[in-house]
Chain A
Amino acid sequence: MENSPKKLRLATIWLDGCSGCHMSILDMDEKLLEITPFIDVVFSPYVDAKEFPPNVDLTIVEGALSTDHDIAIIKKIRENSKLILALGDCAITGNISAMKNLFGSDAVLQKGYFDLADINESKKYPSQIVPKLLDKVLPLHEVVKVDYFLPGCPAPYKAIYEMLKALIEGREINIYEYTRFGK
């Protein structure tokens, strides 16, 4: 990676995922130390930036879209990122996050906040300050253009490493050597 003159402005975000794909990024272990000199992490749960910044080279997105705010943020990400990488099966297909689509948001809310609650004084689902659940959880590409798809549950750390390395070096790789859906 010696020849890469400019640092990659990298953002990572988890939407409706389990954080497993973000943990898989950390599972690169010592390879993280090899990668970090070539990246600038400008937005991520691992850093303290609060607003999605402009001119991001690559945004890695974990998780599906399941609230009105997810939709707003993914559009903002698209406007401000050259490339979007959908990391893991939830971002690509909805996966486990979309299992609630079989029932719809009313049924899952009814279960959690009425059937399985001892006290609910307001007699309502949580609705103040919190974002609104979409009735159907969506994969990213239903709402924005996605440039790369890296499947797996989670996307394996080896695949993440090879992908990042290729992007930093500006070359193509065949990612299916390293991962597949459901892996």
Chain B
Amino acid sequence: MENKKIIIDPVTRIEGHAKITIDLDCDGKVEDAKIHVTQYRGFEKFCEGRMYTEMPAITARTCGICPVSHVVASTKAIDEILAVTPPQAGINIRKIINLAQILQSHTLNFFHLSSPDFIYGFDAPKEDRNIFKMMQTHPVMAKDGIILRAFGQKIIEELGGKRIHPTGITPGGAAKKIEESQKEMILKEIPNAMKIAQGALKYFKENLHKFQKEIDSFATFPSLFMALINPDGTLEHYDGVLRFIDSEGNILEEGIDPQNYKDYIGEAVEEDSYLKSPYYKPLGYPMGMYRVGALARLNIASTCGTPLADEELKNFKALGGGKPVLNSFYYHYARLIEIIYAIEKIEELLNDDETISETVRRTSKVSKNRGVGCSEAPRGTLFHEYHVTKEGVITAVNLIIATGNNNLAMNAGIKQAALAFVDGNNITDGALNRVEAVIRCFDPCLSCSTHALGIVSSKIEVRDHNKNIIKVIERN
């Protein structure tokens, strides 16, 4: 038997498109596996020559799932260029909108994309593994997911003007103050949102025992972790400083100002993916592999700073026995805790009198020629760096997108899962679904990271070394 290649294309139930290749050796054993992100949009180029004022609206369109993160990073970069500090009300409005997005995005991953695997199992017929089937067999759970996601989206719509690509976050603060009626409307829905979130957490924990093999082999390995954090060690998604820790929990770098991100993060290009691979510069490439996102944030933070989330954080931390949790399957767990945190924090911010004060925005003129905006997007740390002329024309842009940070870890993860589950002599749909499910753990937003798109084919192409197709296996 010759060396072969399995191609899963497109990867489904992820937010974006990619394909996976699995190389088999002569005996049908897995040799290697890779994710290929297959589209590139070129924002960093085509933003050159635009006015800085256009950047939030343009860069929001990198992603329809986390546009708020881009608007936040973009306006923070511009705040820096304008040397303006938004009034507290403006900052709080931004934070609420940002948390609402984290809530809706995590909900989307859990209910709409991943829970079919938990409900029906990874080996279920592929026709069943989706939210539409869930609507028939588990209507309450499906509806809960819809309502919880809608709760986040409605907050964004109310305060940001629009659910997708909102315009309410502007340089210098926010566009509009929060009205008392809006505050009441949101607060009224909080108890139900919390009930749904806790129900999801309970469901997840009760079913965890079914997935021990997946927990052990879905990207479970030592790596570095990176996230924003408050100087006092509490969880932070909007502001804060950058911290890197190693797999033992040692702090490698403390208190990094995001403006200096380039001293720590390098980007490497691979020939077979449009997604670049960021790495921690002091360790080099590819040794400097790190993970970002909910798992990284909860590994790095010592507390969430809200009571219910903190209660659950203790259980989460216990999984690592005092060290970081290394199993990427627990990204799901971490996201559920962050949903609870987001609901608590939104309530806290809405009840803060500062939040509804009149002044939400400050104006200023271009005062610096460079600015970096950094925030924690649902999927991890996001950087926007702009250079401008004194008239405010953009001359250079660099974006490091949350998902991109996880590129090295996702690749290592699918290889680990392929080794654990794929037998080249008897390729099953369930095994391939598991390889895809590793990607779902990371919840990659590929549309955002480069704009990914795979060619569409249900077939697994088996190829020899020269990439000649020697056999085609139908996916079902």
A67 and B65 in contact, given A47-B130, A116-B398 (Cβ under 8 angstroms): no
Chain A interface bracket (under 10, 10 to 19, 20 to 34, 35 or more): 35 or more
A16-36: CB near B (< 8 Å → 1, else 0) gives 111111111011011011001
For A97, list chain B residues within 8 Å (CB): 41, 451
Min CB distance, A138 to chain B, in Å?
14
Contact status B272-A49, CB under 8 Å: no
Q: Which of A26, A27, A46 has the most chain B CB atoms closer than 10 A to its own CB?
A: A26
A97 to B130, CA, bound (A): 29
Min CB distance, B66 to chain A, in Å?
10
For B45, list chain A residues within 8 Å (CB): 100, 103, 107-108, 110-112
Contact status B447-A118, CB under 8 Å: no
Q: Which of A48, A117, A119, A126 has the most chain B CB atoms closer than 10 A to its own CB?
A: A48
Contact status B165-A113, CB under 8 Å: no
Number of B interface residues, CB 8 Å? 75
A69 and B453 in contact, given A50-B12, A154-B165 (Cβ under 8 angstroms): yes
A70 to B461, CA, bound (A): 20
Min CB distance, A68 to chain B, in Å?
9
Say which one of B142-150, B231-239, B329-337 lies at the interface with A.
B142-150
A119 to B445, CA, bound (A): 23
In the complex formed, the residue of A with least CB distance to B36 is A129
A118 and B64 in contact, given A30-B147, A52-B456, A103-B46 (Cβ under 8 angstroms): no
A154 and B10 in contact, given A14-B17, A67-B39, A126-B274 (Cβ under 8 angstroms): no
Among A34-83, those with CB < 8 Å from B are: 36, 41, 45-52, 66-67, 69-70, 72-73, 76
Contact status B268-A48, CB under 8 Å: no
For A3, list chain B residues within 8 Å (CB): none
Min CB distance, A23 to chain B, in Å?
5
In the complex formed, the residue of B with least CB distance to A30 is B146
In the complex formed, the residue of A with least CB distance to B278 is A118
B104-139: CB near A (< 8 Å → 1, else 0) gives 000010001100000000000011011110010001
A131 to B131, CA, bound (A): 30
Contact status B447-A14, CB under 8 Å: yes
Contact status B164-A27, CB under 8 Å: yes
Contact status B455-A119, CB under 8 Å: no
Min CB distance, A60 to chain B, in Å?
14
Contact status B64-A20, CB under 8 Å: yes
Contact status B163-A32, CB under 8 Å: no
Min CB distance, A178 to chain B, in Å?
15
A26 and B143 in contact, given A19-B65, A20-B61, A129-B36 (Cβ under 8 angstroms): no
B75-117: CB near A (< 8 Å → 1, else 0) gives 0000000000000000000000000000000001000110000
B270 within 8 A of A: yes
For B270, list chain A residues within 8 Å (CB): 126
Min CB distance, A88 to chain B, in Å?
9
For A13, list chain B residues within 8 Å (CB): 456
For B459, list chain A residues within 8 Å (CB): 50-51
Contact status A111-B126, CB under 8 Å: no
A154 to B139, CA, bound (A): 28
In the complex formed, the residue of A with least CB distance to B38 is A130
Contact status B164-A154, CB under 8 Å: yes
A122 within 8 A of B: yes
B317 within 8 A of A: no
For A18, list chain B residues within 8 Å (CB): 61-64, 67, 447-448, 451
A15 to B139, CA, bound (A): 30
A16 and B39 in contact, given A24-B164, A27-B163 (Cβ under 8 angstroms): yes
For B149, list chain A residues within 8 Å (CB): 26, 29
In the complex formed, the residue of B with least CB distance to A96 is B61
A174 within 8 A of B: no
Contact status A29-B285, CB under 8 Å: no
For B321, list chain A residues within 8 Å (CB): none
Min CB distance, A49 to chain B, in Å?
7
In the complex formed, the residue of B with least CB distance to A100 is B42
A131 and B165 in contact, given A46-B13, A120-B269 (Cβ under 8 angstroms): no
A61 to B88, CA, bound (A): 42
Among B2-23, those with CB < 8 Å from A are: 8-10, 12-17, 19, 21
A118 to B61, CA, bound (A): 26
Within 8 Å by CB of B269, from A51, A108, A117, A154, lies A117
Contact status B15-A36, CB under 8 Å: no
A99 to B30, CA, bound (A): 41
Min CB distance, A76 to chain B, in Å?
8
Within 8 Å by CB of A20, from B164, B457, B458, lies B164
Q: Which of A36, A49, A105 has the most chain B CB atoms closer than 10 A to its own CB?
A: A49
A124 and B271 in contact, given A47-B130, A48-B130, A49-B126 (Cβ under 8 angstroms): yes
A127 and B457 in contact, given A26-B108, A119-B285 (Cβ under 8 angstroms): no
B355 within 8 A of A: no
A40 to B376, CA, bound (A): 37
A119 and B456 in contact, given A20-B165, A130-B38, A154-B64 (Cβ under 8 angstroms): no
A153 within 8 A of B: yes
For A130, list chain B residues within 8 Å (CB): 36-39, 272-274
Not counting A50-B10, A126-B274, a sample of 12 additional A-B residue pairs whose C-beta atoms are within 8 angstroms of each other reads A20-B63, A23-B64, A24-B164, A29-B149, A30-B143, A30-B147, A48-B12, A48-B130, A48-B433, A100-B45, A119-B267, A154-B165
> What are 6 A-B interface contacts by the 8 Å CB criterion?
A14-B453, A23-B164, A45-B13, A48-B127, A102-B46, A121-B269
The 9 closest A-B pairs by CB, nearest first: A20-B64, A108-B42, A50-B458, A51-B458, A118-B266, A119-B268, A128-B272, A120-B269, A111-B45
